[in-house]
A and B are shown apart, each in its own frame.
Chain A
Amino acid sequence: MSRSASLAAERLRSTSSARRARERALEICAWASLVLALVPLVAIGIFLIGQGVRSLSLEFFTSDPPGDLSATGGGIRNAVVGTLMMTGLATLVAVPVGIALAVFSREIGGRVAAAVRFVVDVLAGLPSIVVGIFVYSLVVVATGHFSGYAGAVALAVIELPVIVVATDELLRLTDRRIDEGTRALGMLRWRSFLSVFIPTALSGIITGIMLAVSRAIGETAPLIFTALGNNFFTLDLNEPVQAMPLLIYRNALNSAFPAARDRAMGTALVLVVIVLGFNLAGRWIARRARPADQR
């Protein structure tokens, strides 16, 4: 391989101190980048805890907002339940469909698969607000009212491309020899995917799912025109439903009502904790699923 030969030659040519300096510079830049990226994380954490922790209590999770916004007390139960319901439904739909689409484009190939990939890429690039508009005209106008179902549909459309892209990227990186091995063994294709390719890519796929869910849980824009929001508790997805991001968006800048603002800040804290929980849980699962020979 000429690459290594030229490398060897280069090694003989250049002085080691120059290379060590380059190495050091790289390390410094990389560490600096890390610090730069973590500063906002810490700052946001401090901000949320400082603003939000005083609202947390058992009542906060078990009761709903007071009818009069300016009143203290009450909680965000309706928002927590609404978020979990809509995101759960959305994920249930998006994950199998997303993986199937990725498998489809890998397996079938050709023009049709290219077209599918194109559509998914388009979806991935769609701002969540446009998704909200689509679902508004498709579901809300058609059914005549805002609903949690519309919200769930919007979230599913948002999660889908993330899952497809992550699965696709991971399947792509599957070693060719493993693929040829399964064919040589005469394995049925669906078996190959289920038993070999997907498990190998599983950690990455699960990370992709977790990214998708994290994103969906925090989405506000598509819910503005679909779930609308509701100040009351409901389990009926056919009615407008409250969601945590909606509650935050509508109340956190509400300097007129400190009580509402405090509840929103508390909600922000809870939201981030929930999302973190999903994130970490996903990693733990991925770790358990990873075959032993990989890092």
Chain B
Amino acid sequence: MTIHRLKRLGAMGLIATVFVGACSGSGATSAPSNAPGVAPSAAQTAGAASAPDATTGGSAVTYRCGKGDGQLNGAGSTFIFPLLSKMGEDYNTKCGVKLNYQSIGSGGGIKQWTANTVDFGASDAYLKDSEIQAAAANGEPVEIPATFGAVVVAYNLQGLSAPIQMTPDIVAGIFLGTITKWNDPAIAAQNAGVNLPATDISVVHRSDGSGTTSIFTTYLTAVSPDWVTTVGGGDPTKSAGKEVEWPTGLGASGNEGVTQGINQTDGGVGYIELAYALKNNIPFATLQNKSGNFIVPSLDSVKAAADLPTYPGDLRFNLANTDSAQGYPITGTTWIIVYKDLSKVLKSQERAQALVDFLWWAIHEGQGDAAPLFYGSIPASLLAQDEAAVTSLNWGGTPLLP
């Protein structure tokens, strides 16, 4: 009967693909071990670039292009996804290593990194102590700030003559549900001359564990005591984070989901990364920062906020509610998170090499992809620490970057 024949053919086809797969995938099956010496891999990859020359910070940055298995897996932040996507393509062109990044949200990225099902995670919130604890079995984490972006308050209202200006109180009021209509006096007071309609405000927030939420709620915690009381029960560690107990609104998944949610409801409002708003031509609010200036979110105002005089040694910092006079108040950072000693978590030293080579490129040449996509690049004052972080990655004690 036809169906039996079909099944038999299918079975043979599948057996064939399994065989092919088994043979080609054998590179990933060797148990993690201290491969004898670094020399073989250096010899393998030497063809791709000039001899490794670890000059840091200067114009003589070189890239080794370690191949490893030809693919690196990462997961996490939807915030950084547009940028990582571009970086992945450029790196593949340069070094022939493919970057497979799944944009599942910062919380998801941390979880998968902890479970060691991916090579690196990406998160817009640095690791909490409890998360570091949970990953302790696999080793010590290294968090590398890779880029900066703006979280904008985007809205869907037709026929406005100018972008809406908001003070921190207005933003908090909207997301607390105490301001329910667009023509509320509090909003009108800041926007003389703009004809605000009487539409209901329809809040959209993230439903997944999100670094973007973390950035946004850190800001709200910093500027609104009401927010801390209502959402955190008085506890600022509860009113800020990748997940909070939202008093009102719909939940959507990912920056894309929130963008969609705002777009489809008249009167919708939500918080998304700047690139998403710009690409969709969604208007966003001008926010008043700590210094009292109304700042338009842009590459410049992000850079102003991101450019700190010094950064903490462990590279964990918040840029929300920045002190910078021209800085945008809801600026965030995305960290790439890896384990320091990769011998405990990756299958082969070659793969670890490939990962480190990619990271080294990402903080140098890769930064060229940031500005066209409206992401902030690593400021000069931070670069040295980032380089130190990448250099600290090792294979059982042996540094992976010469």
Interface residues of B in 263-293 (CB under 8 A from A): 263, 275-276, 279-280
A71–B117 CB distance below 8 A? no
B279: contacting residue among A238, A257, A289, CB under 8 A: A257
A67–B99 CB distance below 8 A? yes
A88–B10 CB distance below 8 A? yes
Q: Does A189 reach chain B (CB closer than 8 Å)?
A: no
In the bound complex, CA of A145 to CA of B100 (Å): 14
In the bound complex, CA of A68 to CA of B10 (Å): 34
In the bound complex, CA of A236 to CA of B29 (Å): 13
B260–A253 CB distance below 8 A? yes
Asked whether A256 and B275 contact (CB < 8 A) given A146-B117, A236-B24, A285-B3, the answer is yes
A144–B102 CB distance below 8 A? no
B88: contacting residue among A68, A234, A254, A257, CB under 8 A: A68
Asked whether A235 and B21 contact (CB < 8 A) given A89-B14, A256-B275, A256-B280, the answer is yes
Q: Give a binary string over A29-72; 1 marks a CB under 8 Å from any B CB, 0 the rest.
A: 00000000000000000000000000000000000001111110
In the bound complex, CA of A250 to CA of B257 (Å): 10
B22–A255 CB distance below 8 A? no
A69–B21 CB distance below 8 A? no
In the bound complex, CA of A211 to CA of B82 (Å): 38
Chain A nearest CB: distance from B207 CB in Å?
13
Q: Does A230 reach chain B (CB closer than 8 Å)?
A: yes
Q: Does A272 reach chain B (CB closer than 8 Å)?
A: no
A237–B3 CB distance below 8 A? no
Q: Does B161 reach chain A (CB closer than 8 Å)?
A: no
Q: What does DSSP make chain A's interface, helix, strand, loop or mixed?
A: loop
B88–A285 CB distance below 8 A? no
A67–B7 CB distance below 8 A? no
Asked whether A237 and B259 contact (CB < 8 A) given A69-B85, A146-B117, A232-B71, the answer is no
In the bound complex, CA of A257 to CA of B84 (Å): 14
B82–A141 CB distance below 8 A? no
A85–B88 CB distance below 8 A? no
In the bound complex, CA of A237 to CA of B103 (Å): 21
Give the residue among A231, A232, A256, A285 with the most B Cβ atoms within 10 A: A256
Give chain B's interface residue range (CB within 8 Å of chain A): 35 or more
Closest to A209 in B: B3
A206: contacting residue among B3, B90, B102, CB under 8 A: B3
Q: Which residues of B contact A141 (CB under 8 A)?
A: 115
B11–A92 CB distance below 8 A? yes
Q: Does B20 reach chain A (CB closer than 8 Å)?
A: yes
A237–B21 CB distance below 8 A? yes
Asked whether A92 and B7 contact (CB < 8 A) given A68-B89, A144-B116, the answer is yes
Q: Does B101 reach chain A (CB closer than 8 Å)?
A: yes
Q: Does B256 reach chain A (CB closer than 8 Å)?
A: yes
B14: contacting residue among A67, A85, A228, A234, CB under 8 A: A85
A140–B71 CB distance below 8 A? no
Q: Which residues of A contact B102 (CB under 8 A)?
A: 228-229, 250
Q: Does B2 reach chain A (CB closer than 8 Å)?
A: yes
A236–B100 CB distance below 8 A? no
Chain A nearest CB: distance from B77 CB in Å?
14
Please give me the 5 A-B residue pairs with the lowest Cβ-Cβ distance, nearest first. Answer: A67-B89, A236-B21, A68-B89, A236-B25, A69-B85
What are 17 A-B pairs at a CB distance below 8 A?
A68-B88, A68-B89, A88-B10, A92-B7, A228-B117, A229-B102, A235-B21, A236-B25, A237-B18, A239-B28, A240-B73, A254-B256, A255-B259, A255-B260, A255-B276, A255-B279, A256-B82
Q: B-side interface residues toward A, CB under 8 Å?
A: 1-3, 7, 10-11, 13-14, 17-18, 20-22, 24-25, 28, 71, 73, 75, 81-82, 85-86, 88-90, 92, 98-103, 115-117, 255-257, 259-260, 263, 275-276, 279-280
Q: A-side interface residues toward B, CB under 8 Å?
A: 66-71, 85, 88-89, 92, 95, 140-141, 144-146, 206, 228-232, 234-240, 250, 253-257, 285, 288-289
